[in-house]
Amino acid sequence: MKFVNKVIIVLFFLGSISACDMWDMDLQDNPNAINADGASLADLYNSVQLGFNYQLSDDYLPGALARMYMVVAYTYQNASTATTMNGIWNNAYSELYPDIDALITLAEKNNFYVHIATAKIMKAYSLMHLVDLMGDVPYTEAGQGTVVISPASDAGADVYAAAEVMLDEAINMLDTTTAGSPNLDLYYGGSKTKWATLAKTLKLRAALNKGDKAAFDAIVSAGDIIDEAGEDFQFQYGTNRVNPNSRHWMYNNAYETGDASYQNNYYMWLLAGEKVDVAGDEFRDPRLRYYFYRQKNNSTSQDATTYGCHWSQEPDQSKRPTFWDAYNTRVPYCYAAEDGYIGRDHMNGEGTPPDGPIKTSWGLYPGGGDFDYDGFTDTRKAGTTGGLGAGIQPYLLSSFVKLMQAEAVLSMGAAGDAKALLLEGIQLSLTKVKSFESLVGSTMSKTLTLKNGDVVKVSAFYAMNSADQADYIAKVGAIYDAASASGKKDVVAKEFLIAAYGNGLEAYNMYRRTGAPSDIGPALDAAGSFPTIFLYPLDHISRNGNVTQQTLTDRVFWNTSGPALY
């Protein structure tokens, strides 16, 4: 049994693994690996924590399907192949789960029950994560080496049930043990209380996915779920550039020397132009300048060779596909907004033009990039600008949970006030995003001279303040009040999609559960059937004689009768 010795990474604060880089992890001896039988408990625990982060942070394609990110492909079939999930699959079954099993065996010898409980929570979460992506997966026969060479898959519902049993066991251990916490807990700093709160919230998440109203209400009624920022479950990245690179994948992607990934035009437009208040006036999301960094201030007058619009050479709105009107009559074509929000339309597989200096880049939140104060500079500066990559991987934030509760009230009649939960979730998200200003203190303290001669401070002129937040919340609340029943679901879904930035799987799950937003941005061209599940990895298919490949239109157990998606 092997596991990667990541102690050096931990000492530099938290290894970084790109959410969009999915490499193959073969079952071969690794010169950087040691035998688990000789590993210390601390080393095993560190390896588990980092392996868990790799597992859950690799969510780029699910996020792209939910329009959070952008994938360069014309069809869903080409976007998702049998190699897509190789990385997380091999990580789970050849590294993470063997490490967890070895950790539990070692910890049981000396009654280190906090180590055991928290490892069980991470395993339960990662198992549900695999089911959410691929449905039925090996569990009962997995990890038995040559005893069971081709483990059969367990039904997704059974894997979920086993994960919930692990969560109950972990909660009981954390409630009763007097054992000490791990020396280096990267998530909750050794707080048994917060780990138990997470476990209960994961059960709430499972109940929502399954549509189990009774279980959902019972968990909410019992209390002790993630409902404040101090309980947020997240992974904190560092600022080290090399040996090791501990920065967030978004920063590595856009702030070094290579071209950044494309932003999804629909997602940027969701913050920059989608919202219209009850008086008919457009207004912008105060998180816009934190999420995205514009390299140019104009989307319509760049060199024609730098666009990849598909239906025209330049972003001519008269060339906007007419079939889009059946889905969304307002979303613009080839850019998100005229003032520099330049990305790509959903499922645009055009070749890459020389557009590195013009396309919108990742911003301050959540990847630790730069804050957009109309500087309009190229972000590719060898990792020397912005928050230096000290972002977060947001697994399960208090804002998510509030918005999940709002969804549950509307979708399955769960107890609670949907509007109040919606507004609480928005406020938690706004506060979280604003807190990232501390990463760019020098930027926020800059003074600038505007075109009219006024001298302003970045923090006062460009950053969101309490009045901006209150105004946004009031306007969204008024839109919610004026909406129909289905419109209310769309409002909640859009706010969840925005708050979940950085967590593609939760956005993908929400879209599959609800079919909302009902007017989500359509594909650029005919993209084929929407993937409601991912293919089993090629590594698994080629090595396991008990596996039959599924199709992209199959469904996970909790989504068998889900809404039509596009």
Query: Using CA atoms, how far apart are residues 274 and 332, in angstroms rounded to an integer?
Result: 10
Q: Mean pLDDT, to the nearest integer, of 380-390? A: 98
Say whether both 310 and 385 belong to one domain: yes
Domain presence at residue 280:
yes
Asked if 367 and 477 sit in the same domain, the reply is: yes
Q: What range does the domain containing 338 cover?
A: 265-349+357-393+396-502
pLDDT value at position 35? 54
Amino acid (1-letter code) at residue 65 = L
329 and 407 assigned to the same domain? yes
Query: How do 361-362 and 292-293 pair as beta strands?
Result: antiparallel
Cβ atoms within 10 Å of 332's Cβ, excluding its own: 21
Residue 249 lies in a domain: no
76/159 same-domain check: yes
Answer whether residue 399 shows pLDDT above 80: yes
Is residue 428, in this structure, part of any structural domain at all? yes
Average confidence (pLDDT) over 445-472: 96
What are 508's two structure tokens? 């993908």
Domain of residue 151, CATH code: 1.25.40.390
User: Rounded to an integer, what distance in angstroms lies between the CA atom of residue 228 and that of residue 198?
Assistant: 12
Mean pLDDT of 298-302: 97
211 shares its domain with 290 = no
Q: Check whether residue 285 and residue 433 sit in a common domain.
A: yes
With respect to residue 419, please indicate whether it lies within any of the assigned structural domains: yes
453 and 547 in a single domain? The answer is no
User: Under a CB-based contact definition with an 8 Å cutoff, are residues 436 and 290 in contact?
Assistant: yes
Amino acid 562: pLDDT: 83
Q: Is residue 520 part of a domain?
A: no
Query: Which single residue is written with the structure tokens 């049930």?
Result: 161
The residue among 460, 487, 502 that closes a domain is 502
**Residue located via tokens 């040996």:** 243
Q: Rounded to whole angstroms, how far apart are CA atoms 356 and 367?
A: 19
Q: Is residue 335 part of a domain?
A: yes
pTM for the whole structure: 0.93
Residues 188, 278 within the same domain: no
What pLDDT sits at residue 171? 98
pLDDT interval class at 145 (50, 70, 90) = confident
Say if residues 122 and 95 touch (Cβ distance below 8 Å). no
d(CA 238, CA 246): 5
Amino acid making up residue 100: I
Percent of the chain with pLDDT over 70: 93
Q: What is the spatial distance between Cα 348 and Cα 308, in angstroms, rounded to a whole number?
A: 8
Query: Predicted confidence band at 36 (pLDDT cuts at 50, 70, 90)?
Result: low
* Residue 519 counted as domain residue: no
- Same-domain status, 78 and 177: yes
For residue 46, being part of any structural domain is answered with yes
Element holding 134 (H helix, E strand)? helix 113-134
Mean pLDDT of 73-89: 96
- Averaged confidence pLDDT in the chain: 93
Nearest residue to 207 (alpha-carbon basis) of 227, 232, 225, 229: 225
If asked whether residues 424 and 476 sit together in one domain, one would say: yes
pLDDT value at residue 9: 36
Using the CB atoms, write b or e for 95-127: b if 16+ within 10 Å: bbbbbbbbbbebbeeeebbbbbbbbbbbbbbbb
Per-residue pLDDT reduced to its tens digit, 253-293: 999 999 999 999 999 999 999 999 999 999 999 999 999 99
- Total tally of structural domains belonging to the chain: 2
Same-domain pairing of 544 and 498: no
* Domain end position, chosen among 502, 523, 545: 502
pLDDT at 375: 95
Among the three residues 502, 522, 546, which one is the final residue of a domain in this structure? 502
| Same structural domain, 206 and 325 | no
The answer to whether the beta carbons of residues 41 and 14 sit under 8 Å apart is no
